[in-house]
Structure formats: C-alpha cells, structure tokens
Copies of this chain bind each other. A is one copy, B any other.
Amino acid sequence: MTETNPIVDALARAGCRLTAPRRAVADLIASYDGHFTAAELESLASERGLQIGRATLFRTLEMLIELRLLERVDLPSGEHAYVRCSPGQHHHHIICSRCGRTADVADPILAGAVADLGRQTGYRVDSHRLELFGLCPSCQTRLKRTA
C-alpha cells in the first residue's frame, strides 16, 4: 500500500512535517464519508488505539482548514463539524441530516442569486456562506423502503 492519502500529500506539499499524529489524523478523516466533530475524531482515534493529544488534534484540524482541505460547518443542532472539501473553487456543502454524508456543490448557480440579493438590498456582498441540509439519495430510498 503506497502512500496515497491526499491529505498527507497536501501536508507534504505545504512543507509541513509528516509526523505520526498527523498521519493518524489524516487517516481518520479519510474514513469519514460525511461530517465529523472533533470529539468523534478523538473517540475514533482511541477506538483504533491511536495516540493523539487533544491539542494536536485541534492544531491539525486548524492546519487542514488553513490548507482548505477541511471546512468547518455549523449543523442545525448548533454543533460544530468538519467536512472534507476540495480546495480550489468556491463551493458549498449539502449535508445529509440522517447519515451526515456530504456533497460539494459548485457555486455558479448561486452566484446569480447572490448578485440579485445585493442589488435588492443595496449591500455590496463580499462573501456568503450557504449550508444545505436534507437527505442524500441513499437515505431517501432507505426511508422509502421502511415506510
């Protein structure tokens, strides 16, 4: 198994040291389809017998956000969660409220709407944040079957 964890790669490219805890965090994150909280990450780490200090965990998360590999989102519940995301173009997340799986959503469709809203209000819109919540395709079918 060659080293192909994209997070590890990105850390290397950014000139960060590839320490054991960072590799561990990278692997933990890779095992999530959807969003996760810091606490979830921590308990998954201990389930797997990985030694990662809480401080290191948060420092690593912060670094990954800096590198735009991760984004912090506020769930409807008020919890803070993290989602993986592809660095690069502006986008948003759509989050399944049942399984937590996320999908990236490209911005262009929204851009027009945002421009309209600016025109409507007279505000010069500099940035915006959109979070969508709903059911992913597989949870939809799963629920239909049960119903």
Contacts and interface: CB of A to CB of B under 8 A. Distances in A.
A69 interface: no
A122 interface: yes
B109 A110 contact: no
Given A121-B103, A137-B123, A129 B131 contact: yes
Contacts of A123: 94, 96, 103, 132, 134-137
A91 B96 CA distance: 22
A122 B128 CA distance: 23
Given A124-B134, A135-B124, A117 B129 contact: no
Interface size class of A (residues with CB under 8 A): 35 or more
Interface string A105-128: 100011011101110111111111
A117 B132 CA distance: 9
Count identical subunits in the complex: 2
A66 interface: no
Contacts of A114: 132
A121 B134 CA distance: 11
A127 B133 contact: yes
A76 B127 contact: yes
A97 interface: yes
Contact of A132 (B105, B128, B132): B128
14 contacts: A74-B74, A74-B129, A76-B127, A92-B117, A94-B118, A96-B123, A109-B120, A113-B113, A114-B132, A124-B140, A126-B135, A127-B134, A129-B129, A130-B130
